[in-house]
Amino acid sequence: MGQVTIYLEDSIEQKMTEAAKSAHLSKSKWIAQVISEKVATEWPQSVADMAGSWNDFPNINELRQTEVNDVEREQF
């Protein structure tokens, strides 16, 4: 496992410390979690779990019924 040293302004460090504390994580684990989220290549599970949760969301056939012709494109 690699180690990284970072330098933060005091105000940023204070916010980071508060965020880590509220998440019940060490500062190191909190930073690692933030980095993992930023470099993720897939949607978080919480987003995938929302699929189908809107009962009034139109299905594909309903969306296609409301299609209209596109506006004419500008000529360059």
**What are 15-43's pLDDT values in tens digits?**
999 999 999 999 999 999 999 989 988 88
pTM more than 0.75: no
Check whether 53 has a pLDDT greater than 80.
yes
User: Two tokens at 45?
Assistant: 């599970």
Q: What per-residue confidence (pLDDT) applies to 54?
A: 83
59, 44 contact by CB (below 8 A) = no
pLDDT at 32: 95
What b-and-e string marks burial along 7-41, b requiring 16 or more CB atoms within 10 Å of the CB? eeeeeeeeebeeebeeeeeeeeebbeeeeeeeeee
- Domain segments of the chain as ranges: 10-65
What whole-number distance in Å separates Cα of residue 50 and Cα of residue 54? 8
**pLDDT value for 6:** 93
Which residue is it, tokens 């019940």? Answer: 24
